[in-house]
Amino acid sequence: MVALRSSRFGWIAAFALIVAANPSAIARAGVPARATGTAVNAFGAIDAIDAAVASGELTEVDGLLNKVRFVRGSGALPKRFESAGGDRIKCGTGILLEAMAKLSVLPGDVRTEILTLVARPVTETYLDTPHFRIHYDTSGPNMIYGWPGVAYRDAVAAACETSWRFYHVANSWQIPPADGSGGGNSLIDCYATDAGGAYGWTQPDLAASRWPDDWTAYFVVDHAYDPPFGYADRTLPMKITVAHEYHHVVQMGYTLANVWWMENVATFMEDEVYNAVDDNHAYLFGYMNAPQQRLSTYNGSHEYACFLWPTMIKEKWTHDVVRQVYQNTASGASIFTCFDKAFAQFGTDFARTLAEWGVWNFYTSIRDDGRHYGESQAYEPTMAYDRQYSTYPQTAKHPSTAKEPEGTGQSVVRFVRNTSSSDRKLTITFDGPSCTAQVVMVVKEAGQLVFHEYYMVLDAAGNGTLDVSNWNKMEYGHLLVQMSNDCSGAQDYVFDAVTTAATAVEAPPLYTRTVRLDQNEPNPFGPETSIHYTLDRDAMVRMAVFDAGGRQVRALVQTSQGAGDYQIRWDGRDDAGDRVTQGIYFYRLQAGSVVEVRKMVIMK
């Protein structure tokens, strides 16, 4: 792509030319219109605009224009939307990208107003740091907080450099392309000014030339973060917004595509850089209340809540795998192909990892079992179920129409044991579409924080049966029905649930998978640690330790083993007997065709 530039609206001129030459660029950019519905934290104005569009009161064009007005804090926003209440939206970037993608097909007067609204902010002065130019005002309504004191301004500068170090020094994210003199001196431009109706936003500026769809960009954070942000320390929302929006700048240096993944990752990144703030936890219900929606849903809440997706990728493997996915997207490949490519090194793919993610999302809040998310207990919502049953048999049951799972989404059905019955077995018979990816029952023991997972074997038509043994000793079970990416639209299915007085059998091992690889103990460690793993069948087993660069350091196991529990000790030495340096390492267990990987840290 050739770098393009115009005097005031460089990014708009460039993108308009691309769209005019190739209308499919709008779809390729992955910028869907924001779906109507309830948004996170009762977004007020945005929801009211969506409702007005849905009722026919506003056209889609006027709805988009009013959203841009809201994001940019325009006085032209009609009073009825201005007074709708609600908190600031998490990020205005998606709305601005949507306006950008549709610019060439908008009426002339709307286009003109949007051009004015999306122009670079104009400020009075700036402060340069090693990598950023912080633009701000020293007077007027957008005066930076505390002026003539410089504590807030310097905190913005420090947050920018903290994010830089985390992304580009501690990790290997590509440094975004410079914009020449776009904002000044080829530094990344951060505008500390009125962020309008959002915490902040990022805007592409100039087409770059490193990748097929990469752009320079600048970002905006608020100059004061006054109420209704709700923080006694106004630097806290500023810090997580800097981390979030600067990562959008980094992302646009790869591609503008996949705006839902952009928000998944940027929300994940703010928690990586400023883990103690936990602003992202407030958005969890956007997924937990609607797990049936596609992973790629972009509706003002789901995309932020799905920071859980890159979080699992990082905690299951490493932060760098998230970066590898982004590196893969720069070529213009399908995002799902990019997931497959990044996950292949661990012997798995997008479909199997997504199915595992669906199960991880069961174990939050009071269900935290210490084996899934590191912050599971702090993730207060639990995944909402569609229907609940407590008497049996139940026959020919369906999900509710509103909760039918979409491709990459999952349906949740709750079964509660009938305490007046002594039946010992629960049998689920499932008749689903052929694109069903996984059906698993997660069952909790009565009076214990102990869970068992039962995985259904599905035939090619998407049908199967599973038995839950010792049902009389259980409290409840949740049936998780995951749809594959091949599904088109929402999917119906039908199931029966029957209890019987079958002879009791032993409860299955906790987490009934072929392989369970536990976290090493202690971790971090020095000089040695123990690794425990479980096999539920005979297999050829290989276990080895790798450094952060993927090089094998030490072979630990290479033999055939029977079903059972095993423990291996690593003394912190490589194959040559030399003690390894401190840092991050990975241990990889392969048992047959199943591969599990975990991270550990060695300290002196």
Q: How far apart are CA 361 and CA 511, in angstroms?
A: 15
User: What confidence tens digit (pLDDT) does each residue in 553-600 have?
Assistant: 999 999 989 888 899 999 999 999 999 998 889 899 988 877 788 888
Confidence band, pLDDT 50/70/90 cuts, at residue 63:
very high
Q: Which whole number is the average pLDDT over 342-354?
A: 92
The CATH architecture assigned to 125-336 reads Orthogonal Bundle (1.10)
Consecutive H or E run containing 441: strand 436-445
The confidence score (pLDDT) of residue 14 equals 45
User: What confidence tens digit (pLDDT) does each residue in 101-114 have?
Assistant: 899 999 999 999 99
Q: Which whole number is the average pLDDT over 323-336?
A: 94
Three-state SS at 160: helix
The CATH architecture assigned to 387-500 reads Sandwich (2.60)
Q: Quote the percentage of the chain above a pLDDT of 90.
A: 69
User: Above 50 in pLDDT, residue 422?
Assistant: yes
Torsion angle, CA of 32/36/39/43, rounded to 10 degrees? 100
User: What confidence tens digit (pLDDT) does each residue in 236-284 have?
Assistant: 999 999 999 999 999 999 999 999 999 999 999 999 999 999 999 999 9
Pairing of strands 436-445, 451-455: antiparallel
Pairing of strands 387-389, 425-431: unpaired
The confidence score (pLDDT) of residue 84 equals 65
Between 445 and 514, name the one with better pLDDT: 445
Lowest-confidence region among 81-85, 91-95, 340-344, 596-600:
81-85
Do the Cβ atoms of 200 and 279 come closer than 8 Å? Answer: no
| Cα 66 off chain centre by | 27
User: Above 80 in pLDDT, residue 26?
Assistant: no
Angle formed at CA 203 by CA 199 and CA 208, multiple of 5 degrees: 150
Three-state SS at 533: strand
Q: How far apart are CA 225 and CA 229, in angstroms?
A: 6
The confidence score (pLDDT) of residue 495 equals 98
Amino acid (1-letter code) at residue 14: A
The confidence score (pLDDT) of residue 1 equals 27
Q: Which whole number is the average pLDDT over 308-337?
A: 94
User: What confidence tens digit (pLDDT) does each residue in 569-579 have?
Assistant: 999 999 999 99
User: What's the chain's average pLDDT?
Assistant: 88
Pairing of strands 215-222, 188-193: parallel
Lowest-confidence region among 14-23, 349-358, 515-524:
14-23
Same fold, 387-500 and 515-602: no
Angle formed at CA 377 by CA 374 and CA 381, multiple of 5 degrees: 120
Q: How far apart are CA 424 and CA 499, in angstroms?
A: 7
The confidence score (pLDDT) of residue 419 equals 93
The confidence score (pLDDT) of residue 86 equals 60
The confidence score (pLDDT) of residue 281 equals 95
SS3 content of the chain, % helix, strand, coil (to 5): 30, 25, 45
Do the Cβ atoms of 226 and 87 come closer than 8 Å? Answer: no
The confidence score (pLDDT) of residue 8 equals 36
Do the Cβ atoms of 595 and 344 come closer than 8 Å? Answer: no
User: What confidence tens digit (pLDDT) does each residue in 274-299 have?
Assistant: 999 999 999 999 999 999 999 999 98
Structure-token pair, residue 407: 């491709």
Q: Which whole number is the average pLDDT over 423-432?
A: 96
User: Above 70 in pLDDT, residue 450?
Assistant: yes
Q: Which whole number is the average pLDDT over 524-529?
A: 88
The confidence score (pLDDT) of residue 2 equals 29
Number of H helices, E strands in the chain: 16, 21
Q: Which whole number is the average pLDDT over 315-319?
A: 90
Do the Cβ atoms of 314 and 269 come closer than 8 Å? Answer: no
Amino acid (1-letter code) at residue 61: V
User: Above 50 in pLDDT, residue 217?
Assistant: yes
The confidence score (pLDDT) of residue 426 equals 96
Confidence band, pLDDT 50/70/90 cuts, at residue 209:
confident
Among 238, 266, 241, smallest CA distance to 251 is for 266
Would you say domain 515-602 falls under CATH 3.40.50.720?
no
Q: How far apart are the first and last CA of the chain?
A: 49
- Residues 58, 60, 64, 67, CA torsion sign: positive
Angle formed at CA 59 by CA 54 and CA 64, multiple of 5 degrees: 90
Q: Which whole number is the average pLDDT over 524-528?
A: 88
User: Above 90 in pLDDT, residue 324?
Assistant: yes
Buried b (16+ CB within 10 A) or exposed e, 564-592: eeeebebebeeeeeeebeeeebbbbbbbe
Pairing of strands 425-431, 463-468: antiparallel
User: Above 80 in pLDDT, residue 33?
Assistant: no
The confidence score (pLDDT) of residue 87 equals 66
Q: How far apart are CA 231 and CA 345, in angstroms?
A: 42
**Per-domain boundaries in the chain:** 10-117, 125-336, 387-500, 515-602
CB hemisphere CA count around 466 (13 angstroms): 25
User: What confidence tens digit (pLDDT) does each residue in 135-179 have?
Assistant: 999 999 999 999 999 999 999 999 999 999 999 999 999 999 987
Q: Quote the percentage of the chain above a pLDDT of 70.
A: 89
